[in-house]
């Protein structure tokens, strides 16, 4: 017995020394699950480490009782194949629908015929009301009426502020007007909290934990209504209550007539009334159709905007080049007849920003390193072989890490970790379209983000108008790093000081 005990201890010691430096440690019965759980708090950086150690694609064995294997990949060839070439074999899947059950059957949470119908309606709603034009005008109005007064007040008081919080309020206000035709005014001077925004934050947090927790466990917690699942239940009730209120108010507006309603919800109500195709679902159809759009417009865009601004603040040379480019537009609006420059604060419109190559390159470079949604998830229907030679089996879950792909030397070169907008500009000063073949920040193929242009407009408008009119500095000693979430939020926000921009 003594010899057996010594042998077991030596075996455990050997195994520990062998595995302690590995990014993934294989455990009996539990397989690779403990590695995933132990790194959940830093999931995106862990996926980078996995790719650097094992290559762009790595199979992660699920626990014996889970019976699910995960394929981690950041290979752009696989991304292209999964999202474009053989997209029908890689739906989001039933398990995805269960994890994101709060979204219902909207375009972000459906597959096949249901998705196609939702996508067609969404496209019609976006184009019939010209939502891009609406958002462009809203960006100007919100900047002038809300953002500038708020930041000017911070200049006077010299008060530090969490800029990520400001950006999430900015995107929430704009997207609420776009969808519901109502401005919650979260950018008011007293920075009021909003129930719907808070409920969405809570829901996203719990859905992330569902991704890194064995399904049997979170489903048991959901049934018992304990822990994180209780938080999601409460958030769900809040979302449903407020969405019902918004839908009822919009129907009253439409019944009363008056001025034309050009928001997204009005379009869906019109589709439901005229086509009568979805009338059997009542308000649930309306709720599910706009809820995903609300989350994408507020959360994903707000996160992408926050990281873009952070990258600019960390790179003064980039900031100077963007301001120089903006100054060229500003000078075109100046009144040279009276030898006076246009008044500040100056609000740029979307037309002003369309041709700015460096601003666009700087945004793409930030999205390369910090995509608003850093991970995509797919399910395998039929056995297949990916472009890198990996064999995938039915039921397997594929985790596609956009965050890791942006940090791969084999994809972007030895300077992959540098924030370098110049990589997107060719020798003729034009934007390098060829890099878009390995750029998936807005998705790709049939499921390319339908609100891509809206998100880009919101991001560029906020960056241009703030940078040109204010000098923003990071608070010394404040560290900014990613939060473990489905959306690339910042764990401790982005504390800054706002000062006037010297012309």
Check which CATH number belongs to the domain holding 175 and give it: 1.10.630.10
- How confident is the model at residue 431, as a pLDDT? 95
Encode pLDDT of 436-484 as tens digits. 999 999 999 999 999 999 999 999 999 999 999 999 999 999 999 998 8
Q: Is the pLDDT of residue 341 over 50?
A: yes
Rounded to whole angstroms, the Cα distance separating 438 from 380 reads 22
- How confident is the model at residue 64, as a pLDDT? 59
The number of CA neighbours under 13 Å toward the Cβ of 443 is 18
Query: pLDDT band at residue 211, thresholds of 50, 70 and 90?
Result: confident
Encode pLDDT of 35-45 as tens digits. 777 888 889 99
| Residue 383, domain extent | 23-500
Rounded to whole angstroms, the Cα distance separating 182 from 253 reads 11
- Inside any domain, residue 337: yes
- The pTM of this model reads 0.91
- Inside any domain, residue 272: yes
Segment 416-427 mean pLDDT: 96
Segment 154-160 mean pLDDT: 92
Rounded to whole angstroms, the Cα distance separating 281 from 301 reads 30
Cβ atoms of 434 and 323 within 8 Å: the answer is: no
- Inside any domain, residue 10: no
- Inside any domain, residue 33: yes
| Number of domains comprising the chain | 1
Cβ atoms of 405 and 377 within 8 Å: the answer is: no
- Can you tell me which residue has the tokens 């039929």? 382
Mean pLDDT estimate for the chain: 88
Q: Is the pLDDT of residue 12 over 70?
A: no
> Of all residues in the chain, what percent carry a pLDDT higher than 90?
69
- How confident is the model at residue 337, as a pLDDT? 38
> Which residues face 162 on adjacent strands?
495
Query: pLDDT band at residue 142, thresholds of 50, 70 and 90?
Result: very high
- How confident is the model at residue 214, as a pLDDT? 81
Query: pLDDT band at residue 29, thresholds of 50, 70 and 90?
Result: low
Cβ atoms of 483 and 491 within 8 Å: the answer is: yes
Q: How far is CA 308 from CA 314, 329, 366, 454, 494, in A?
A: 10, 21, 5, 16, 12
Helix H segments across 20-65?
A: 33-38, 43-54
Nearest to 112 by CA among 135, 89, 96, 132: 89
Encode pLDDT of 216-267 as tens digits. 889 999 999 999 999 999 999 999 999 999 999 999 998 887 666 789 999 9
> Which residues face 499 on adjacent strands?
471
- Inside any domain, residue 401: yes
Query: Beta strand 70-73 with 161-162: parallel, antiparallel or unpaired?
Result: unpaired
Question: Is 449 flagged in the annotation as binding?
Answer: yes
- Inside any domain, residue 15: no
Nearest to 82 by CA among 364, 382, 295, 372: 382
Q: Which of 17-31, 328-342, 450-464 has the lowest mean pLDDT?
A: 17-31
């Amino acid at each position: 017995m003594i010899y057996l005990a010594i042998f077991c201890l030596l075996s455990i010691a050997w195994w520990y020394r062998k595995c302690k430096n590995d990014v993934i440690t294989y455990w009996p019965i539990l397989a690779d699950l403990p590695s995933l759980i132990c790194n959940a708090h830093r999931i995106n950086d862990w996926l980078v480490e996995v790719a650097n150690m094992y290559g762009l694609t790595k199979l992660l064995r699920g626990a014996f009782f889970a019976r699910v294997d995960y394929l981690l990949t950041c290979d752009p060839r696989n991304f292209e194949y999964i999202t474009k070439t053989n997209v029908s074999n890689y739906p989001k899947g039933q398990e995805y629908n269960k994890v994101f059950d709060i979204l219902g059957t909207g375009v972000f949470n459906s597959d096949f015929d249901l998705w196609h119908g939702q996508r067609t309606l969404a496209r019609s709603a976006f184009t019939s009301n010209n939502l891009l034009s609406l958002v462009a005008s809203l960006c100007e109005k919100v900047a002038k009426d809300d953002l500038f007064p708020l930041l000017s007040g911070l200049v006077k008081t010299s008060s530090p502020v969490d800029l990520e919080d400001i950006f999430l309020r900015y995107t929430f206000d704009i997207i609420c007007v776009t969808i519901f035709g109502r401005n919650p005014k979260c950018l008011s001077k007293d920075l009021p909290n909003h129930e719907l925004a808070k409920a969405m934050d809570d829901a996203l947090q719990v859905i992330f934990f569902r991704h890194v927790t064995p399904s049997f466990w979170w489903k048991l917690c959901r049934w018992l209504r304990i822990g994180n699942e209780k938080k999601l239940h409460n958030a769900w009730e809040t979302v449903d209550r407020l969405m019902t209120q918004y839908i009822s108010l919009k129907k009253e507006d439409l019944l009363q007539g008056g001025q034309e309603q050009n928001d997204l919800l009005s379009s869906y109500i019109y589709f439901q009334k005229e086509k009568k195709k979805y009338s059997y679902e009542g308000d649930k159809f309306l709720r599910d159709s706009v809820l995903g759009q609300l989350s994408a417009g507020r959360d994903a865009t707000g996160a992408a905007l926050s990281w873009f601004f952070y990258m600019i603040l960390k790179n003064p040379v980039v900031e100077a080049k963007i301001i120089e480019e903006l100054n060229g537009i500003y000078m075109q609006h100046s009144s040279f007849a009276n030898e006076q420059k246009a008044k500040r604060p100056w609000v740029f419109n979307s037309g002003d920003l369309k041709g700015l190559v460096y601003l666009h390159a700087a945004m793409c470079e930030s999205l390369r390193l910090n995509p608003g949604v850093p991970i995509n998830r797919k399910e395998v229907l039929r056995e297949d072989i990916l472009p890198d030679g990996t064999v995938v089996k039915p039921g397997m879950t594929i985790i596609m890490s956009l965050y890791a792909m942006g940090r791969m030397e084999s994809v972007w070169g030895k300077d992959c970790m540098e924030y370098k907008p110049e990589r997107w500009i060719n020798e003729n000063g034009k934007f390098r379209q060829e890099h878009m073949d390995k750029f998936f920040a807005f998705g790709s193929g049939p499921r390319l983000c339908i609100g891509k242009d809206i998100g880009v407009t919101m991001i560029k408008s906020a960056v241009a108008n703030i940078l040109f009119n204010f000098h923003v500095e990071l608070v010394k000693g404040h560290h900014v790093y990613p939060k473990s979430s489905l959306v690339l939020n910042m764990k401790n926000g982005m504390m800054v000081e706002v000062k006037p921009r010297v012309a």
